[in-house]
Amino acid sequence: MLLIYNRPGFAEELTEAERDALFAEVDAIMRELQESGEWVGGEALADPSTTKNVLERGGQPAVTDGPFLEAKEHFAGFLTVDCESEERAVEIARRWPDVRFGGRMEVRAVMSEGGAEM
């Protein structure tokens, strides 16, 4: 799984031409992954201000609004890919355009039923 983190609002700081180029680059990577059969799924996530967190407070589950911690970046979305190797997943993540704009990608294996990845 490729987890996408970026700065809230970074896309709004770009010119329209820069935004168009960024989204065209994402579309090209997505087409490549679909054509190669590596694409499994993925989604962008809503603005972090819509977040609800459930955590323990006083021995009971409590619900709070907004991101859990003050952060300069937020979890923006994910891609699930089925690659031949971890190196291929890293190669895809390195090409993701958000990285050039201060974001980052986290590459993490999805656990199988047996949980051997732990």
- Number of domains comprising the chain: 1
- Asked whether 90 and 107 are in contact (CB, 8 A), the reply is yes
Task: Please check whether residue 113 lies inside any domain of the structure.
Answer: no
Task: Please check whether residue 115 lies inside any domain of the structure.
Answer: no
Q: Which of 25-29, 50-54, 71-75, 90-94 has the lowest mean pLDDT?
A: 71-75
Task: Please check whether residue 69 lies inside any domain of the structure.
Answer: yes
For residue range 57-108, what is the model confidence (pLDDT) as tens digits?
A: 899 998 888 765 566 778 899 999 999 999 999 999 999 999 998 899 999 9
Structural domain range at position 40: 2-107
* pTM given for the model: 0.81
Per-residue burial over 37-59, b if 16 or more Cβ lie within 10 Å, else e, is: ebbeebeeeeeeeeeeeeeeeee
What CATH number does residue 60 fall under?
3.30.70.1060
